[in-house]
Amino acid sequence: AQSVTQPDIHITVSEGASLELRCNYSYGATPYLFWYVQSPGQGLQLLLKYFSGDTLVQGIKGFEAEFKRSQSSFNLRKPSVHWSDAAEYFCAVGSSGTYKYIFGTGTRLKVLA
Amino acid sequence: EAQVTQNPRYLITVTGKKLTVTCSQNMNHEYMSWYRQDPGLGLRQIYYSMNVEVTDKGDVPEGYKVSRKEKRNFPLILESPSPNQTSLYFCASSLGLAGGLYEQYFGPGTRLTVT
């Protein structure tokens, strides 16, 4: 069965520091992978997605993610965090065989000034 | 402006009183879906629809109904709400032409409290 694991519930970083949010998935075929961000009181916004090809994908707001098939991971990174990046981040996998999506439990990011 | 709208945004109701949360999208998307978000559990898919009159269960469909009579609308119906359905609900849509290939566009959410 498909699953998505985000092992870090909370992460705190200082403004200007680098960031990596972890995401591991379980899926039999090539997954379609997504990262979404949810600002307080808002809906979810797509940051980036991976379907095929280059395993390093660039997204909005300076985020990038790397697909590593051997590790079943799709970690999100940003070289320098801004205070406005404080939010909750969700990793998700879409199935190529069905129309179902599975989301991780989310990682809440706190940014210290 | 391309968007997914939900109404109401906030709702407090009592156990057993039927309610409907509406969802509408103006992007001509085939695929629409409902999720509930609970602390520590992330987003869980309730129902989804691949096109008009085509719906299927997600991971947590118990206690919910949906219908898709028009492409743009996908209402979520709770016929007899219970306190364990207190949650934050999101509607989403996507092109959905190839399974889970496309990103989803989310509505602003509906916070439901059942007492």
The per-residue pLDDT for range A50-72, each reduced to its tens digit, is 988 889 999 999 999 999 999 99
Note the helical H segments in B21-114.
none
> Is a pLDDT exceeding 90 seen at residue A99?
no
Q: What is the mean pLDDT of chain A?
A: 92
What's the mean pLDDT in A76-99? 91
Cβ of A49 within 8 Å of Cβ of B90? The answer is no
Q: Which residue in A has a C-alpha nearest to residue B58's C-alpha?
A: A100
CB neighbour list of residue B22: distance below 8 Å, 6 or more residues apart: B6, B7, B73, B75
Q: Label residue B12 by pLDDT band (50, 70, 90).
A: very high
Cβ of A100 within 8 Å of Cβ of B44? The answer is no
Per-residue confidence (pLDDT) for residue B100, from 0 to 100: 61
**CB pairs A-B closer than 8 Å:** 71
What's the mean pLDDT in A36-45? 91
**Gap between the Cα atoms of A49 and A93, Å rounded:** 10
**Gap between the Cα atoms of B40 and B60, Å rounded:** 15
The per-residue pLDDT for range B32-75, each reduced to its tens digit, is 999 999 998 999 999 999 889 999 999 999 999 999 999 999 99
Closest partner residue to B99 (CB to CB) among A45, A99, A102 is A99
The percent of residues in chain B predicted with pLDDT above 70, rounded, is 95
Highest mean pLDDT among A29-43, A82-96, B80-94: B80-94
Cβ of A44 within 8 Å of Cβ of B90? The answer is yes
Per-residue confidence (pLDDT) for residue A2, from 0 to 100: 81
Per-residue confidence (pLDDT) for residue A94, from 0 to 100: 85
Contact A101, A14 (CB under 8 A): no
What's the mean pLDDT in A94-104? 81
Cβ of A9 within 8 Å of Cβ of B31? The answer is no
Closest partner residue to B42 (CB to CB) among A49, A95, A105 is A105
Give chain A positions within 8 Å (CB) of B4.
Answer: 43
Cβ of A96 within 8 Å of Cβ of B96? The answer is no
Q: Label residue A29 by pLDDT band (50, 70, 90).
A: confident
Cβ of B101 within 8 Å of Cβ of A99? The answer is no
Q: Label residue A35 by pLDDT band (50, 70, 90).
A: very high
